[in-house]
A and B are shown apart, each in its own frame.
Chain A
Amino acid sequence: MKSEEIAAKTSSPWFAIRKDLDSKQRLILSCFSFLLPILIWVIVSYTPFIWHPDVKLQLSADRTDVTTIYSAGDRLSKEFYPSFVEAIQSDNAEILAAREQGEVDGSASRIRRANLKVMRHITPVVTANGWLTRDEVKDESLYGVWQKLAEGSLEQKRVQLSAENMEIIKRNWALMSERSEVFDSKLLPETPLEKLVPQGKPSNPSYLPSPHEVVVKGIQDFTAEADGNNPSLFQRYRHSLRIVFLGFLFAALVGVPLGVICGTFDFFSKLFEPFIDFFRYMPAPAFSTLLVAVFLANDAPKIALVFVGTFFQLVLVVANTTRQLDASLLEAAQTLGANKSTQIRRVILPGILPDLFNDLRILLGWAWTWLVIAELIGVKSGLTEFMDTQGRFRNFDSVFPVIILIGVSGFVTDQILSSLRKYLFPWTPESSSKKHGFIGRFIYWLLDRKVYDSPLNGKV
């Protein structure tokens, strides 16, 4: 009891100026920092009276006088939607009026064809409610659905047909069944059928799909197999990773030695750095056409773009890190008899290593940001090509999972590298003071499964 009270008292206040929170509080807040945006997304998506400027059609209809065709799934603005519904209703009124007066306009076969269209318009509701699968939808089976709907023997789970539409279905079915109980294109009614009135529900614009749509679409996209010249998303992902990592690798291979040399010898610093400093202000994408001309097709110009975008920054950062090394360490080494090459090999390199690692980690994040532009140049490829195509068709529910994937990949790589730091560099103060994070514990567990069995928690 007592110790619990003490523990409760020692937890830090939530709002203290320039004071660190304890680890549990930090964890809670870190979770919230991710949960909050998701929560906002959920609220905006699922609360019909917040925003929702559009109506997403669940059921559409053709207007006689207008050529624009909307189909189920399309979004209409809230202002326009009522006039669309009214137009169909007035079409229906005209049909009924004409029927009453016994006026029939046009030939019997034309009317049959129009009626076939009316019958087919129910399809989105049929598939949404699972009455028929997409493959099962045939004129014959749809005819049966009309019958069952009119008889009231179908359960409307996902899409509820309005009372108005149910009346229309019943009236239409009366006409249809008079001619035939089963589908026969020759035996469709020869008086015009009433059109189903459009139905829809409030929705956000297509560029803000709701979370479940994104999740469902994401799973669909990622489980889809490759077909022909269309690689699967995982193949695309691998391709994108390759571009980022190769571009970064080359930048690091050239940039790190150059940066270290610049940071070590003022001669090279003054010789290279002014130009590099100037060059980095020229945006890498400005070179895209040039890179394509030099490196031709395939991945080379893309990798080169990531290189150009990363390299110049990297040299300057590494040079700076090298200069940050405590110069008195070099003086100490000199009084111990170290010559120039020994100073570089045995003092500068090991001395800057932890900071260099950190720099490279940050610059890898930098390299990620060039990915999309890199994949757009020359022949579009990888995840970007997919996003580009889907975005053109306004399938943003397909675009979001990919954007999130790119973000998660960068973030996770960064987190892993950052927690590796204290295992790679056990001498840094942070590695002795900080407790092992989740990833760190996992690595220890991989190295030695028994670490967490002992009461000492792995410390001997």
Chain B
Amino acid sequence: MSELIQLPSYKEQSPEVSARFEALHKRPVKLKVEGLSKTFHTSKGSVNVLKSIDLNVYRREFVSVIGPSGCGKSTLIRMLAGLETLSGGRFLLNDKEVSGPSADRGMVFQGYTLFPWLSVKKNVMFGLEVNGRSGTAVEQEALQWIELVGLARFADAYPSQLSGGMKQRVAIARALATQPEVLFMDEPFGALDPHTRSQMQAYLLQIWKNVDVTIMFVTHDLDEAIYLSDRILVLKANPGEIHEFIEVPVPRPRTPEQFLSPEFLSVKQHLEELIHPVSSNDDEPTDLPIVRMTSASDNVE
């Protein structure tokens, strides 16, 4: 298909888009990562998972992280969230070095991780109460966040009574309630069906618009990454290094119709090339050596 239509380069930006990136780069740096590396020591020896990662994320930016599976995407954001120790390098939040997990860096996991014994409202209140607040104000605030993700009707339900998409919205509300500087999301929609997934993407863009939060979003879905992000961090595997940090030329506000716009397709094509290089296809044959097993005489194709 790409041969038939002449796509623009993914680096070409419309004047509005480049103006937007210019403004973005003038914003304060929220997250500064310097020479970050990670080595896991296991009984089978040590694995160098991430090597010298340097990057800046600006305030209220939406950054996606993609890369082949096992390249260290989860490890990277888990380190930034304080859930994994650093083997080397450091990172600064608002120019201050931080360590260990804390409420200023929220996290949304693929597996929802809602507290099953708490109702939706209590789940959202958890972070607020843990940080020493109590009283009716906390409850009011929690209800506002629940309303923001559109689940006011389910405030008193238990997580087990919700669908996957609803659970993930509660998890987002819970993470946002403590008003983190950065919100890390590790394939949050990976377990959802395609329809719910695209719904959730729209919700997330809406929420991000209304809340002062910087988002770092891990995904393996290229469309999702392009649709949501300002910039896309592409990692390569063994050892995990930055392949490229791409500025997405698709203008905002984003709509699902843009999935077929030339800018969108050009970024997607480039990402495909980065993640699935042609050379790596050599050792994996695309045609399976299939022997006809059935005696059917009519051909299905």
Contact = CB atoms under 8 A, between A and B. Distances in A.
Given A332-B107, A351-B117, A342 B130 contact: yes
Nearest to A430: B160
Given A332-B115, A335-B184, A429-B160, 12 more contacts: A326-B113, A328-B111, A328-B113, A335-B82, A335-B102, A336-B106, A336-B127, A337-B102, A337-B103, A338-B130, A346-B126, A427-B158
17 contacts: A326-B111, A328-B109, A331-B107, A331-B109, A332-B115, A333-B115, A333-B130, A334-B82, A334-B83, A335-B83, A336-B127, A336-B175, A337-B127, A351-B115, A425-B117, A427-B160, A432-B161
B116 interface: yes
Contacts of A336: 103, 106, 126-127, 130, 174-175, 178
B81 interface: yes
B131 interface: yes
A42 interface: no
Contacts of A338: 130
A331 B101 contact: yes
Interface string A427-453: 111001000000000000000000000
Given A337-B131, A346-B126, A346-B130, A331 B178 contact: no
Given A328-B109, A426-B158, A333 B117 contact: no
Contacts of A426: 158
Interface string A320-336: 00000010110111111
Interface string B89-131: 0000000000001110111010101011110000000110011
Interface in B238-291: none
B188 interface: no
B159 interface: yes
A429 B184 CA distance: 29
A15 B75 CA distance: 49
Interface in B146-164: 158-161
Interface of A: 326, 328-329, 331-338, 342, 346-347, 350-351, 353, 425-429, 432
A335 to B, nearest CB: 4
Contacts of A332: 107, 109, 113, 115, 171
Given A335-B103, A337-B103, A329 B115 contact: yes
Contacts of A347: 115
B130 A337 contact: yes
A424 to B, nearest CB: 11
Contacts of B103: 335-337
Interface centre among A326, A336, A425 (most CB of B within 10 A): A336
Given A331-B83, A335-B83, A427-B158, A350 B115 contact: yes
A351 B105 CA distance: 24
Given A329-B113, A427-B160, A335 B126 contact: no
Nearest to A349: B117
A337 to B, nearest CB: 3
A336 B118 CA distance: 15
Nearest to B100: A334
Contacts of A342: 130
Contacts of B81: 335
Contact of A427 (B106, B109, B113, B117): B117
A425 B115 CA distance: 13
B113 A432 contact: no
Interface centre among A326, A335, A336, A425 (most CB of B within 10 A): A335
A203 to B, nearest CB: 58
A375 to B, nearest CB: 40
Nearest to A429: B160
A353 B117 CA distance: 9
A347 B270 CA distance: 44
A358 to B, nearest CB: 15
A337 B178 contact: yes
A335 B117 contact: no
A337 B132 CA distance: 10
A217 B161 CA distance: 53
A62 B130 CA distance: 88
A346 B130 CA distance: 9
Contacts of B171: 332
A137 B89 CA distance: 104
A332 B172 CA distance: 11
A335 B107 contact: yes
Contacts of B174: 336
A350 B184 CA distance: 26
Interface string B157-194: 01111000000000100110010000010000000000
Contacts of B118: 350, 427
Interface centre among B81, B115, B127, B158 (most CB of A within 10 A): B115
Interface in B210-229: none
A137 B282 CA distance: 108
Contact of A350 (B83, B101, B105, B117): B117
Contacts of A425: 117
A432 B159 CA distance: 12
